[in-house]
């Protein structure tokens, strides 16, 4: 009897030992290794604070819920210094260290520098802020997924919104790089379609601190309103425009101008200013409500537009990991092509032709709401107005 029991125990132990490697394998999935590259220094550093905050919050929240698909999420960070070459170096370092699911650049020039190297680094890239059409047209990449609005998407909305913008004669002040030029071109086309004109266009180099020469020209132009597309210099421009009496006499409207980081830095100078916005806590979807409640519980404030867009990018990335059952960059982006995913805007589609997340668009106005001065949505435009994918995109 004792010999039989010993034999049984030996057989049982052998069976458990055989199963142990399988159990361990099931519990030891490769982690999701995210490389967060954004602006800790340079012209975009004020906005970069919110990018880092939004991504960190998304990662911490996901890990607190057990990770994704049984995988822990590991985050590493790099500073793109607000310029393309530094961004490329930071992204490459992270990717080669294994953090090859990249996210975070603000400037489209940085995003283009990163996107062009993804295959060489065996990386994937999720764009959450950069709007330049080039990223999803002739420079599109099967390993790049954009989860925010492109310039083309904004133009489709602006063309409709322009019908109700007061005035017939406008000026443009834009940043002198790819996104600023795209924005200026888009706004001018939208105004022309309404029989209105842009009589002066000014482009300020990145890093501009003294806007006095531009403000003098804008005052002399005597226009009805000024389209502003200058994220890096927005704080300095808005403050100086008020100091020199350009505003509020000449109203500002803008592209990515009504952003929380800029409003918080300029106080009442932005009150009443309208413009497009990528995200606000006003968006009425289950995902947005859940995000806002969780964010408020941790930080005792509402999330900013940039924090929301960064968080949304991580949401989409992690769903790609789950759909692919893999952390391999090419597999993750391939799984997302044509997929429907949960986002802060509701259930939306990653367009297969160019990996663009197709989402609604919004015009907001800076006003007091819930005790703070912030962008508040005035008009919403459905995702159905999004233009078709460009034939220039070959994936």
**In the β-sheet with 144-146, what is the strand arrangement from edge to edge?**
73-79, 32-38, 101-103, 124-127, 144-146
Residue 16 lies in a domain: no
Q: Which CATH number belongs to the domain containing residue 202 in this structure?
A: 3.40.50.2300
Residues 6+ apart with CB under 8 A from 243: none
Instruction: Write down the residue that tokens 């954009």 correspond to.
Output: 146
Residues 43 and 145 occupy one common structural domain: yes
The reported pLDDT for the residue numbered 177 is 86
Residues 98 and 181 occupy one common structural domain: no
Residues 106 and 198 occupy one common structural domain: no
- pLDDT tens figures, 109-156: 999 999 999 999 999 999 999 999 999 999 999 999 999 999 899 989
Residues 271 and 287 occupy one common structural domain: no
Residue 10 lies in a domain: no
Residues 89 and 180 occupy one common structural domain: no
Does 335 score more than 70 pLDDT? Answer: yes
Q: How far is 116 from 174, CA to CA, in rounded Å? A: 25
The reported pLDDT for the residue numbered 155 is 84
The reported pLDDT for the residue numbered 6 is 46
Residue 389 lies in a domain: no
The mean-pLDDT minimum among 26-30, 151-155, 181-185, 263-267 falls in 26-30
Query: If 0-12 CB within 10 Å is exposed, 13-18 middle and 19+ buried, where does residue 117 land?
Result: middle
Does 3 score more than 50 pLDDT? Answer: no
Residues 157 and 145 occupy one common structural domain: no
Main-chain phi, psi angles of 242, to 5 degrees = -70, -40
Residues 140 and 160 occupy one common structural domain: no
Pairing mode, if any, of strands 169-175 and 361-369? unpaired
Q: Tell me which residue range forms the domain holding 177.
A: 153-277
**Of residues 161, 152, 154, 155, the one with CA closest to residue 134:** 152
Number of folded domains in the chain? 2
Residues 94 and 164 occupy one common structural domain: no
Residues 133 and 234 occupy one common structural domain: no
Residues 6+ apart with CB under 8 A from 4: none
- pLDDT tens figures, 273-298: 999 999 999 999 999 999 999 999 99
Residues 328 and 221 occupy one common structural domain: no
| Global confidence as pTM | 0.89
Residues 89 and 157 occupy one common structural domain: no
């Amino acid at each position: 009897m004792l010999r039989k029991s010993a034999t049984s125990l030996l057989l049982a132990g052998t069976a458990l030992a055989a199963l142990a490697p399988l159990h361990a394998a099931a519990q030891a999935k490769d982690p999701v290794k995210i490389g967060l590259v954004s602006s800790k220094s340079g012209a975009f550093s004020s906005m970069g604070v919110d990018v880092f905050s939004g991504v960190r919050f998304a990662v911490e929240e996901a890990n607190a819920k057990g990770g994704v698909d049984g995988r822990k999420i590991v985050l590493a960070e790099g500073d793109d210094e607000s310029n393309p070459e530094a961004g490329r170096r930071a992204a490459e370092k992270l990717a080669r260290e294994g953090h090859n699911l990249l996210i975070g650049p603000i400037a489209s020039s940085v995003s283009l520098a990163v996107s062009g190297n993804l295959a060489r680094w065996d990386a994937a890239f999720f764009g959450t802020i950069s709007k330049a059409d080039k990223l999803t047209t002739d420079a599109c990449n099967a390993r790049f997924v954009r989860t925010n609005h492109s310039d083309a998407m904004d133009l489709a909305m602006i063309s409709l919104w322009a019908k109700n913008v007061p005035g017939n004669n406008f000026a443009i002040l834009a940043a002198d790089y790819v996104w600023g030029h795209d924005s200026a071109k888009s706004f001018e086309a939208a105004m022309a379609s309404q029989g209105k004109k842009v009589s002066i266009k000014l482009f300020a180099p990145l890093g501009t601190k003294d806007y006095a020469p531009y403000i003098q020209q804008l005052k002399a132009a005597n226009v009805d309103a000024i389209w502003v597309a200058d994220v890096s210099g927005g704080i300095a421009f808005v403050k100086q425009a008020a100091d020199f009496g350009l505003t509020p006499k000449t109203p500002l409207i803008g592209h990515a101008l009504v952003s929380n980081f800029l409003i918080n830095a300029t106080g009442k100078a932005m009150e009443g200013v309208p413009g497009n916005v990528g995200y606000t806590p006003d968006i009425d979807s289950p995902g947005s409500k859940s995000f806002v409640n969780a964010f408020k519980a941790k930080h005792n404030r509402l999330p900013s537009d940039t924090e929301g867009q960064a968080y949304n990018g991580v949401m989409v990335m992690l769903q790609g990991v789950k759909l692919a059952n893999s952390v391999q960059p090419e597999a993750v982006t391939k799984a997302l092509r044509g997929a429907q995913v949960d986002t802060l805007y509701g259930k939306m589609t990653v367009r297969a032709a160019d990996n663009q997340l197709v989402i609604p668009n919004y015009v907001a106005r800076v006003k007091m709401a819930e005790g703070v001065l912030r962008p508040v949505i005035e008009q919403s435009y459905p995702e159905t107005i999004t233009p078709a994918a460009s034939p220039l995109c070959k994936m």
